[in-house]
Structure 1
Amino acid sequence: MSGHSAADRNQLLSEAVRLREAGRREEARERLVALSAALPLDAEVAYQAAWVHDTLGLEAEAVPYYERALSGSALAGDDRRGALLGLGSTYRILGRHEEAVATLTTGVAEFPDDNGLKAFLAMALYNTGRTHDAMQLLLTLLVTTTADPELAAYRPAIEEYAKDLDATME
């Protein structure tokens, strides 16, 4: 582990996360960059480094850390979901819309119950000009998650219309 024992790694990572959570993001970033350089194959460290770059508005710098975090199978569960959403959203912000769609589509396939991923995918679809797909996804998301009884009453109609927004009565 390039001079870091597992205990050292865990302690350093925990300290950096605590700094980020306490709003001391630049200090956290410096520590995570150093830890990631020492442990380049550590997916969790890469994910935390990506996350702190994103919180600082350093989206372009976050991308390689996200990509490294997702490159293998070491990242799982909530961290993998967060990394897919983070990378997809970051690609979108950077104008890399096709990559955003691909990443977020993977996220929705792996985590079909995550509505956040679906919302970000809809935005990326819009950015690629796939407005029908974006609207279909958003309308379906809206009527399947709403607590508004007036909107819920129209759920069957909205779901049907969402399938083909261009259909008209002739």
Structure 2
Amino acid sequence: MNDLERAIRLRESGQLEEAKTVLLELLTQEPLNPSAWYQCAWVHDVMELEREAIPYYKRALEMDLRHEERQGAYLGLGSTLRTLGRYEEAKLIFEEAISKYPDRREYQVFYAMVRFNQNAYNEAMEIVLKQLADTSSDKGIQEYKNAIHFYSDKLNKVWD
């Protein structure tokens, strides 16, 4: 098992300090390893060291990060920025992620959270309602899927 795999296993088993130590050492040995940058960001995030995670996410995204990890890095960076109240930056990250990966619905949901934080309540609700209608397997939701879609952008409209 290499150091990156060991660090991931340590993180997954809750041995966060150990994982962080292995990853920081790995970055000194392999500064061009995008997966190490991403995993380092992730472990900082899990340790609630959000501010420290940001430069690791950004560096990972600047590099040739593998497809699945790149998707995770977008989500991690956008979510971290949102939790720090950096809503406009988070919004831009999620907009970029949505444009690159339009089928990844989780970006839409996190984007809705950002829009909620920016007081764009109608837009946030519209996004969440559409995601609910499109992804729920609940019989009742599916029965009223068309109505949910129809009303998703008309929440403030009052019919006479």
| TM-score, normalised with respect to structure 1 | 0.87
Deviation of residue 143 (structure 1)?
Answer: 0.6
Match of 2:51 in 1: 60
* 2:138 maps to which of 131, 135, 148: 148
- The one-letter code sitting in structure 2 at the alignment partner of 1:40 is P
Other structure's SS at 1:132 match? helix
1:15 counterpart (6, 11, 16): 6
Matching residue within 106, 110, 114 for 2:104: 114
More displaced stretch, 116-125 vs 157-166 = 157-166
Q: Deviations over 1:98-150 (max 9, x none)?
A: 11111112222222222222211110111112212111100000111111222
Distance 2:87 2:28 in 1: 29
Q: For residues 91-130 of structure 1, what are the structure 2 equivalents within 5 Å?
A: 91-130=81-120
Q: Which runs of 5+ in 2 are unaligned?
A: none
In 1: Cα distance, 2:26 partner to 2:73 partner: 18
- Partner residue, 1:31: 22
Cα RMSD, aligned residues only: 1.5
> Number of residues paired by the alignment?
160
Offset of 1:21 from its aligned partner?
A: 1.8
Instruction: Give unpaired runs (5+ residues) of structure 1.
Output: 1-9
1:43-54 to structure 2, matched below 5 A, reads: 43-54=34-45
